[in-house]
Structure 1
Amino acid sequence: MKLYSYNRRKIYFTCIAIVMTAVFLMGRLAYLMVAKADYYNRAATGLHERERSIKAPRGRIYDRNGNILADNKAVCSVSVIHSQIEDEEAVIQVLNEYLDKGESEIRKKVTKVSSRELIATNVAKETGDQIRELNVAGIKVDEDYKRYYPYGSLASKVLGFTGADNQGIVGLEVWYNEILAGEDGSIHTVTDAKGIELPNVKETRVSPVPGDDLVLSLDLTIQKYATQAALSVMEEKQAKRVAMIIMNPQNGEIYAMVDVPEYDLNQPFQLNTDLAGYESMTDGEKMDALNNMWRNFTVSDTYEPGSTFKIVTATAALEAGTVSLSDTFYCPGYKIVEDRRIRCHKTTGHGSEDFRHALMNSCNPAFMTIGERTGATNLYQTYQKLGLFQKTGIDLPGEANSIMHKLSDIGPVELATMSFGQSFQISPIQFVTAAATVINGGNKITPHIGMKVVDAESQVMTELQYPVTQGAVGSETSATMRDLLESVVAEGGGSKAQIKGYRIGGKTATSEKYPRGTGKYISSFLGFAPANDPQVMAFVMIDEPTGVYYGGTIAAPVIQEVFSNILPYLGIPKEE
């Protein structure tokens, strides 16, 4: 009886276990068939579908007059699908014959068991068509696009370039990448269990969406003039580099931005100079050399502005009311500040001079006195209004910010040297923006290069907007500064920028580089025209010129040459 009861319980529990297992399996099957049906359907479909991407044509970049600065060139990408290869040696032979790749590299990819191996991108369309016509099993040739720059190195440090994936790397190409990139398309094919495409099943395509076009404020003609002038003076003075910015001071539109030597945008990984020991460099050192070549000095680096910064000091003094045009100063050729004897560029001194002539003569002792009267707090208030403590917001990557003293650290020596543009650093674009604010009536503008975006599908044009701060400088101060700076060119140190029939304003600078005493200088000049109603402003800096290095002697003539070409081009009339 005991055995009978034991067997009954055993059978009972076994039946329960079987029923529970059956219920679980049925529930699991229902879950897989109903709840996860879509998932497994997609997975099963994925086993038999292959997808290849089609790159979207990148948006074009135009100058303000409709000239194409960055375009797309039709190329091909070549890949192999291992499951479709019938003769590996034939595939290797064809790819080795038509592509600029090593046979060992090709063989490694062809023999690799994978769904798809990319062999080469940016293959010339003619070459891709020839490979496609051979109809070798396992080789796939897809259409593609490569960025193409019609003017080679022109404006290279502004435009930037794209990588093999057609994504922006530097310059405007990366800043406006989301606008220019577009959306890639795809090609879908169906395969059998072995991964071989079914010949009777039509492939489906999802067409790519082209990127939007970008219209710049750059003017191709002005960019060419500026580049030619910069290259000419760099060669003549055997300088390290020459940078130039040409801008509309009323609204911040940049007509030209140059930083020579430039590099070839169509071969951006090829150095633009012969660098000693380049072949023996490590990969990291080579990358550093390339990054330095791509770097836009006008935006990404800082420098001591020197005497051009007297524009800011004079503005601060007039705004604070600490000087007037009738004030006089005495220059014996130097000024003693604490334990320092800080000299003037004219060691014999300028003698007695009024405020106008202090600026015309670019007299350091006079401006040290002006700075002392104005005080660090008033100077810094003007710096703040002119945007010298923050980045300008220009639409280019890698913008540098100024390097200034803390207000609490400014003693008499620092105040004296700041007054004539030394002991601190700003970027060229910061200085040009501040100077534009001083002369345009007092409105702080945002320098910019992008003007409009053109929708790829609707062709609707959208104007890009940039911030403007009204009244950063008083209008009376602005008018006075325009008048004073016209005197600098008409009668002072900037006389080599004069052009008959045009009223030109400007300021020169010659600043010694750190460390002092090396004999290395930066010569610069900022000019604008017409002086009474500025429509165009140009700034040039010559880094480490040999021989004569004074800004009034070698930098002012560069702007004179550029203005002689572009003022008539811009339709600015001469005056009697």
Structure 2
Amino acid sequence: MVRNRKAKKIFFRERTNVIAAVFFILGVLILGRLFYLQIIRHSGYLEAADDQHQVNQEILQSRGEIYMQDYKNNSLAPLVINREMGMLYIVPKEILEKEKMAKILAELLEAEIEDRKKVEAEILAKAKKPGDPYEPVRHKIEPELVARIKGLELAGVYFSDELIRYYPEKESAGQLTGFLGFNDDKQEGQYGLEGYFEKELAGEKGKILADKDLSGRLILTSETELKEAENGSDIILTIDRVVQSKAYEFIRQAVEEKVAESGTIIVMEPKSGRIMAMANYPGFDPNNYGEVEDIKVYRNLAISEPYEPGSIFKIITMAAGLDSGAIAPEDTFIDTGETKIGAEVIRNADNKKYGQITMTGILENSVNNGAVFIALKTGRDSFQKYARGFGFSELTGVELMGEAKGNLGALNNKGDIYLATASFGQGITVTPMQMISALTAIVNDGELVKPRLVDYIRKEDQEIKKNEQTSAERVISEKTARIVKAMMVSVVKNGHTKSAQIAGYNIGGKTGTAEIASKDGKGYSNETNHSFIGFGPLENTRFVIFVKLAKPRKGIFAESTAVPVFVKMANFLLQYYQIAPEG
């Protein structure tokens, strides 16, 4: 009995010790957990708590837009805008008649009948995915089509809004605008105006850091941080919407008719330097820039592809010779049909011989040997000084990404042959923009005007940064400029370019048919570039036009290829601006 009582005491004492030990261990664990939570993880949980009571997010900005002029209506026309469009998606599990839905959508989304079956199959495949809660079908759907599809009330068919960079002029201005593309995972303007004005167009994101109440509403306090988003600026161009459209139409027709590799046309107002049109063909649609076969089409040939200009450069040679005093307008030259320089022999086109010929006659008949005569009398150093003065081998500064300088390096070489070939535009390279810019000095009484695409930049608060025309730079004397200008009118009236005449107006111009260097660097190929540069009218000149066709297969000389484009453009401008005939 006594033994049992002692056994029970020992049993209860041991159980009490076990329970105490368990509670002790639990206490240690709890204290350890509290230490971990309150000391070690304190900052982490504090941040989590802040996240539940604070909002910290970016405020997105709106990208600036680009506008052209509509001079007839005294208004602006959109060239690049931000446009709300629709993204169509489907929820497969909600669609009962999948085949019917796919057929209806394909007919609405695809205009080309031969492509509808493919689109229908793609939509149907997405609709048949089991348990799929979301399948995107098509981006960039026009608002009108969005409304039409919504009106059908198709089960499982939905739209979400998309803010899209939209280019209304499509192919006709693709190389001018460039596009909004991706650099890694960041959207950036690329090529053209979008690339050149990336900083101005992009603007800056904003940010807000503030407390919020239990319902999620912001609580504005003295500790609230708010940086407003700064929307991008709008760029207002000098480009005329109607002139741009016509320029693209004319150069496209010429490239197709003459089976050329490409074509370029620029229209400029010479007194102000305002570019009214700049178009290339082939072009590309910036709305679908990823669909091009060759990314070379992104380049703006008017500024980024220097070429040997050929005989249009003879107007620069003539201006240099006259202004330097190396020749006089009344001088004559005896053309024997060839000029020997060392082992090289220079001949005229078609091996023609002109005998005694005037300085004006050299331009009228595009006499290579006459140009060589003028250049050699002018001298290499003086000739190069004038060429650089006209802006060659320098950037024009036009507001576009990707401008090239061209190359007058051949004039640094010893030997008269390099100067001789440069006199008629071979062995040196220029850009179309440089060439049309140089012509402004001739039609502006000797003063070179910088070309410009931008009229002004407009910020959201209506602050306007006007792109004022910088002072013109004198390149040649007023007397020289007027003589060369008159010679160019004589070229059209009496020379190889009679087809450029327009009844009632004095039109000036010069053709150039230039051989293209062989790809192996050994001499020249049988391929040619055809150019024409001209102006009108003679008095109070309103426009200068540059036209180039690369490697046309139909037409031997520029008179039959590039000149007709000029005539179409000039006739249109004379009517569009209602320029009265000259007396």
- 8 Å Cα contact 1:49-1:190 kept in structure 2: yes
The 1-side partners of 2:181 and 2:498 are apart by 47
Query: Secondary structure of the residue that 2:481 maps to in structure 1?
Result: helix
145, 149, 153: which one aligns with 2:163: 145
Pair 1:337–1:498, CA change in 2 (3 A): same
Q: 1:353 to 1:240 in 2, by over 3 A?
A: same
**Residue type matched to 1:508 in 2?**
T
Distance 1:369 1:375, change over 3 A: same
**Residue 63 in structure 1 maps to residue 73 in structure 2:** no
Q: Is the 8 A contact 1:482 1:532 kept in 2?
A: no
1:561 aligns with 2:568: yes
Aligned to 1:461: 464
Match of 1:359, as an amino acid? Answer: L
Higher CA-based Rg: 2
SS at match of 1:538: strand
Determine the C-alpha separation between the residues in 2 that align with 1:149 and 1:420.
Answer: 41
Question: SS state of the match for residue 478, structure 1?
Answer: helix
Mapped to 1, the partners of 2:546 and 2:92 lie a distance apart of: 62
- Equivalent position SS for 1:520: strand
Secondary structure in structure 2 of the residue aligned to 1:238 = coil
Deviation, 1:464, is 1.2
- Counterpart of 1:201, as a letter, is G
Structure 1: how far apart are the matches of 2:80 and 2:214?
Answer: 40
Q: Secondary structure at the match of 2:190?
A: coil
Aligned residue runs from structure 1 range 208-223, under 5 A: 208-223=229-244
Asked whether the equivalents of residues 439 and 479 of structure 1 are also in contact (C-alpha less than 8 Å), the reply is yes
> Any idea what the Cα deviations from partners look like across 1:21-72, whole Å, max 9, x if unmatched?
xxxxxxxx9xx99xxx9x9977753476566656433222111221111111
Partner of 2:119: none
Task: Report the more deviating stretch, 531-540 or 118-127.
Answer: 118-127
Pairs within 5 Å for 1:134-213:
145-163=163-181, 167-184=188-205, 200-202=215-217, 208-213=229-234
Matched with 1:227 is 248
Q: Contact 1:54–1:142 (CA<8 Å) still a contact in 2? A: no
Retained in 1: the 8 A contact 2:178–2:189? yes
The answer to whether the Cα contact below 8 Å between 1:54 and 1:143 also exists between their aligned partners in 2 is: no
Find out whether 1:573 has 2:572 as its counterpart: no
Larger CA deviation: 358-367 vs 345-354: 345-354
Alignment pair present for 1:337 and 2:347: no
RMSD: 4.4
User: Please, which moves more after superposition, 403-412 or 422-431?
Assistant: 403-412
Given the alignment of the two structures, is residue 366 of structure 1 paired with residue 384 of structure 2, yes or no? no
Cα pair 2:392 2:408 within 8 Å, conserved: no
Higher mean displacement: 202-211 or 432-441:
202-211
Distance 1:303 1:173, change over 3 A: same
Query: Retained in 2: the 8 A contact 1:58–1:166?
Result: no
Corresponding residue SS for 1:153: helix
State the Cα deviation string for residues 300-353 of structure 1 (Å, max 9, x = none): 111000000001111111111000011111112221111111110142311110
Cα distance in 2 for partners of 1:476, 1:41 equals 82
Deviations 1:238-277 (A, max 9, x none): 1000111111111211101011011112111112xxx6xx
Residues 1:317 and 2:321 are matched in the alignment:
yes
Report what 2:505 is aligned to. Answer: 502
Larger displacement relative to structure 2 (499-508 or 463-472):
463-472
Alignment of 1:68-467 (within 5 A): 68-75=78-85, 145-163=163-181, 167-184=188-205, 200-202=215-217, 208-271=229-292, 289-290=294-295, 292-405=296-409, 407-457=411-461, 459-467=462-470
- Aligned length in residues: 507
Aligned AA for 1:524?
A: S
Q: Give the corresponding residue for 1:550.
A: 557
1:562 deviation in Å? 0.8
CA deviation profile, 1:511-561 (whole Å, cap 9, x unmatched): 011115532111110010112332200000111111322012221121011
CA distance 1:307–1:156, change in 2 (3 Å): same
Q: Compute the displacement of 1:157 (Å).
A: 0.5
**Preserved CA contact (<8 Å) 2:55 2:210:** yes
Q: 1:477 aligns with which of 480, 484, 492?
A: 480
1:281: which partner in 2? none
For 2:277 and 2:426, locate their aligned partners in 1 and report how far apart those are by CA, in whole Å. 27
Structure 1 contact 189–202 (Cα < 8 Å) conserved: no
Asked whether the 8 Å contact 2:410–2:428 carries over to 1, the reply is no
Alpha carbons 1:54, 1:144 under 8 Å: kept? no
Q: 1:43 & 1:417 partners in 2: Cα distance?
A: 76
Q: CA 1:467–1:102 in 2, change beyond 3 Å: closer, same or farther?
A: farther
Segment drifting more, 300-309 vs 428-437: 428-437
Tell whether the 8 Å contact from 2:264 to 2:280 is kept in structure 1 after alignment. Answer: yes
Distance in structure 2 (CA, Å) of the matches to 1:492 and 1:427? 25
- Secondary structure of the residue aligned to 1:564 is helix
Deviation sequence 1:396-425 (CA, Å, 0-9, x none):
011111222265413111111011110111
Structure 2 vs 1, CA of residues 143 and 52 (structure 1 numbering), >3 Å: closer, same or farther? farther
Distance in 1 between residues matched to 2:141 and 2:168, nearest whole Å:
19
Task: String of CA shifts for 1:450-489, please: whole Å, max 9, x gaps.
Answer: 11112222x2433113543432221111111111111111
2:3 aligned partner: none
Could you tell me how far apart the structure 2 residues matched to 1:380 and 1:517 are? 24
Unaligned runs of 5+ in 2: 1-37, 71-75, 97-101, 106-121, 220-225
Where 2:323 maps in the other structure, the secondary structure is helix
Aligned residue in 2 for 1:17: none
Aligned to 1:511, which of 511, 514, 525? 514
Instruction: Specify whether residues 325 and 161 from structure 1 end up closer, same or farther in structure 2 by C-alpha distance, changes over 3 A only.
Output: same
Measure the CA separation in 1 of the matches of 2:475 and 2:417.
28
Match in the other structure for 1:18: none
**What's the CA shift for 1:121?**
8.4
Scaled by the length of structure 2, what TM-score is found?
0.76
Moved over 6 A (4+): 39-43, 76-79, 88-91, 97-103, 118-125, 186-191, 203-207
Pairwise CA distance, 1:225: 1.3
Distance of aligned partners of 1:378 and 1:101 in 2 relative to their CA distance in 1, 3 Å threshold? farther
Residue 150 of structure 1: CA displacement?
1.6
Contact 1:333 1:345 in 2 (8 A): no
The Cα of 1:183 is off from its aligned counterpart by 3.5
Aligned-partner residue type, residue 278 of structure 2: M
Structure ranking higher in strand proportion: 2
Are the counterparts in 1 of residues 537 and 582 from structure 2 also a CA contact under 8 Å?
no
Q: Distance in 1 between matches of 2:482 and 2:48?
A: 73
The one-letter code matched in structure 2 to 1:506 is G
**What percentage of residue pairs aligned between the two structures are identical?**
27
**Alpha-carbon offset, residue 73 of structure 1:** 1.0
Give the residue type in structure 2 aligned to 1:69: L
Partner amino acid, structure 2, of 1:433:
S
Alpha-carbon offset, residue 90 of structure 1: 8.2
Using the TM superposition, give the Cα deviation of residue 439 of structure 1 relative to its aligned residue in structure 2, in angstroms. 2.3
Does the CA contact (< 8 Å) of 2:410 and 2:418 recur in 1?
Answer: no
Letter in 2 for 1:468: S
Shift of 1:101: 13
**Whole-angstrom distance in 2 between the partners of 1:543 and 1:230:** 11
